[in-house]
Amino acid sequence: EVQLVESGGGLVQPGRSLRLSCAASGFTFDDYAMHWVRQAPGKGLEWVSGISWNSGSIGYADSVKGRFTISRDNAKNSLYLQMNSLRAEDTALYYCAKDIGFGVGDATFDYWGQGTLVTVSS
């Protein structure tokens, strides 16, 4: 059974940093691209970032480019999102999502975690 478990969310002040993690199991992690998708309270879905199976291809939404960094550790079956210079508008539930393919260009999410909540507030 595929499982994606996010962690690392919490309350953080504007301008500070936070690192999210996603622990994957139930599939061959290094065969697939992975993504982060967020959802602000009561709002729709917003893609944040994606990384290919071997970290060779990475993409970011314009809203986070230069502030967020996605990475993965295939030996640990883990995905990460380093979030710097956090803003109030980054407040959201952050989902880890598995791609159906190995490249970020497939960009189709067949499994999702339950999310970790990030609240940016002073």
Partner 1 sequence: DIQMTQSPSSLSASVGDRVTITCQASQDISNYLNWYQQKPGKAPKLLIYDASNLETGVPSRFSGSGSGTDFTFTISSLQPEDIATYYCQQYDNLPLRLTFGGGTKVEIK
Which string of b and e fits 25-45 if b means at least 16 CB within 10 Å? eebebeebbbbbbbeeeeeee
**Cβ nearer to partner 1, comparing 12 with 37:** 37
CA atoms within 13 A on the CB side of 20: 33
66 lies in the binding site for partner 1 (CB under 8 A): no
Among 86, 113, 118, 120, binds partner 1 (CB under 8 A): 113
68 lies in the binding site for partner 1 (CB under 8 A): no
One character per residue 23-62, x = contact with partner 1 (rule: CB under 8 A): --------------x------xxxx--x------x-x-xx
* Residues 56, 1 contacting (CB under 8 angstroms): no
**Cβ nearer to partner 1, comparing 61 with 77:** 61
- How far apart are alpha carbons 18 and 64 in whole angstroms? 13
- How far apart are alpha carbons 45 and 115 in whole angstroms? 12
- CB 109 to partner 1: min, Å: 6
Q: Which residues bind partner 1 (CB under 8 A)?
A: 37, 44-47, 50, 57, 59, 61-62, 95, 100, 104-110, 112-115
